[in-house]
């Protein structure tokens, strides 16, 4: 049995969203049908406004409004000599939530993954190198994900950045706070040993 076309169209579109399977799409569609028209219109208006007003910052490639530089790039209180390189805009938010970083960012929009056909030319690496040549940067923190693709990207960037006489550092990785050694895998434990520091 097939749903009426209007429902099926919504199910198909919802099913294209990341993390939404057929059952999730069905729950959302039923929820939308049960809401007042005003509730659904607010959601529709929010999505339309999102697409109309949000773009990428022409400096760091994080989210910005109206084609202008983002709020971090225009904040004069930020340390302009320090850039933290991340894979995705959501990584900027994760680091900002710590309250520990006061520099600027550069978003690559992915990581090097030869298996997926993604090389340096498919990322915002060219734009990063242009910034490093022009901005008087002293240190670049490579905050790519601690997986194979993230490590590959970090190694590639570190080699390239060091040729520019700029300090390249990597986020430490290792044991989570509150974790037990017996449950740590060998790679995580090894990384924790490598990143040890003097007390």
Q: Is the pLDDT of residue 178 over 80?
A: no
Mean pLDDT lowest for which of 50-64, 125-139, 175-189? 175-189
pLDDT bin (cut points 50, 70, 90) of residue 77 is very high
**What pTM was estimated for this model as a whole?**
0.83
Q: Which of 65-69, 109-113, 118-122, 140-144 is predicted least confidently?
A: 65-69
Q: Which of 173, 169, 168 is nearest to 193 (CA)?
A: 173
H-only helix segments in 16-170: 22-34, 37-53, 89-98, 125-134, 148-162
Mean pLDDT along residues 172-189 = 73
pLDDT at 185 over 90: no
Helix (H, G, I), strand (E, B) or coil at 59: coil
pLDDT at 172: 82
Mean pLDDT across the chain = 91
């Amino acid at each position: 049995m097939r749903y009426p076309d209007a429902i099926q169209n919504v199910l198909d579109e919802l099913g294209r969203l990341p993390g939404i399977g057929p059952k999730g799409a069905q729950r959302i569609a039923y929820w939308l049908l049960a809401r007042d028209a005003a509730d659904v219109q607010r959601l529709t208006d929010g999505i339309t406004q999102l697409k109309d007003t949000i773009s990428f910052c022409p400096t760091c490639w994080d989210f910005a409004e109206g084609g202008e530089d983002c709020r971090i790039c225009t904040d004069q209180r930020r340390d302009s000599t320090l850039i933290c390189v991340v894979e995705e805009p959501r990584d900027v938010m994760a680091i900002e939530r710590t309250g520990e970083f006061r520099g600027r960012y550069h978003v690559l929009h992915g990581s090097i993954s030869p298996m997926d056909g993604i090389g340096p030319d498919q990322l915002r690496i060219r734009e990063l190198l242009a910034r490093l040549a022009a901005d008087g940067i002293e240190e670049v923190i490579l905050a790519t994900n601690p997986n194979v693709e993230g490590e590959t990207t970090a190694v590639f960037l570190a080699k390239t950045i060091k040729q520019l006489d700029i300090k390249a550092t990597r986020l430490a990785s290792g044991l989570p706070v509150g974790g037990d050694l017996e449950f740590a895998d060998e790679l995580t434990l090894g990384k924790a040993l490598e990143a040890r520091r003097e007390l």
